[in-house]
Amino acid sequence: MQVPVHNISGEVIANMELADDVFDVPFNEPLVHQVMVAQEANQRLGTVLVKTRSEVEGAGKKIYMQKHTGRARQGSIRAPHRRGGGKAFGPRPRDFRQALPKKMRVLALKSLLSQKVAQGEMVVVDNLKVEKPKTKEILSILNTFKANSKALIVPDKLEPNLVKALRNIPGIKVLPPNMLNVVDLLSYKTLLVSKEALNTINNLWGGGQPTPAEGNA
């Protein structure tokens, strides 16, 4: 499988061969969903805490006598139904993490990358470096590839100028290849990846390194 490689002006300058074991994998919706749920669960802190009746302030003395008052019986000022009392069945600190084998995570990534290629949502650029941290300069590149909203930018390395140029653009996120994940691939429609980053992706999860095809397109 081949994909065109563009320069920053949008012109096709070469073709690149993609590894079939990374970019030609059948889409596995149940697996992708399972990995997405696990990833979001693993990001939860689980630190919320409310006090029970044994932890709130207040004396343990009975509020008033049990009988002969004409009122309902009351045992403690710290009871959950009283103002300022402890909470019944409230949230407590817990660990939301879900075990996720590495093979499942990698296969879900390959499945989504393959879908991006099949749907024409992955654009390979020869070079994503910018000379100055100017938003105007990177906006011109994004507009060329119609990726000015909901786009995931994947350079080979996080160059400071590129990061600074992108930080003021809403709907755009930049990640290095080794931090690609299922949630971000699902959240952003367009995947704008550099040629070097594509090689890194294949080295991380594939069997070999894709090489440019002979000649220009």
We report the CATH number of the domain holding residue 190 as 3.40.1370.10
Neighbours of 133 (CB within 10 A): 16
pLDDT of amino acid 47: 92
- At 149 the three-state DSSP class reads coil
pLDDT of amino acid 207: 64
- Contact status, residue 94 vs residue 81, Cβ threshold 8 Å: no
Residues 6+ apart with CB under 8 A from 113: 22, 23, 25, 122, 185, 191, 201
36 against 2, higher pLDDT: 36
> What is the number of domains present in the chain?
2
Choosing from 95, 118, 135, the residue where a domain stops is 95
Domain membership of residue 210 (yes or no) is no
141 and 111, same structural domain? yes
> 27: closest CA among 148, 119, 137?
119
> 54: closest CA among 33, 80, 25?
80
The beta strands (E) that lie in the chain are given as 2-6, 12-17, 122-125, 151-154, 172-174, 190-194
Domain membership of residue 197 (yes or no) is yes
88 and 102, same structural domain? no
86 and 108, same structural domain? no
Q: What is the mean pLDDT of residues 7-28?
A: 88
133 and 118, same structural domain? yes
Domain membership of residue 211 (yes or no) is no
Domain membership of residue 123 (yes or no) is yes
Residues 6+ apart with CB under 8 A from 182: 32, 35, 36, 39, 105, 108, 109, 112
188 and 120, same structural domain? yes
CA 132/CA 80 separation, integer angstroms = 60
CA 107/CA 202 separation, integer angstroms = 13
Domain membership of residue 216 (yes or no) is no
78 and 33, same structural domain? no
Q: What is the pLDDT of residues 96-153, one digit of tens each?
A: 999 999 999 999 999 999 999 999 899 999 888 888 888 888 888 888 888 777 889 9
Neighbours of 189 (CB within 10 A): 14
pLDDT of amino acid 213: 40
Q: What is the pLDDT of residues 33-73, one digit of tens each?
A: 999 999 999 999 999 999 999 999 988 889 999 999 999 99
Choosing from 65, 95, 125, the residue where a domain stops is 95
- State the residue range of the domain holding 64: 45-95
Domain membership of residue 212 (yes or no) is no
* pTM (2 d.p.): 0.78
195 and 168, same structural domain? yes
CA 56/CA 39 separation, integer angstroms = 35
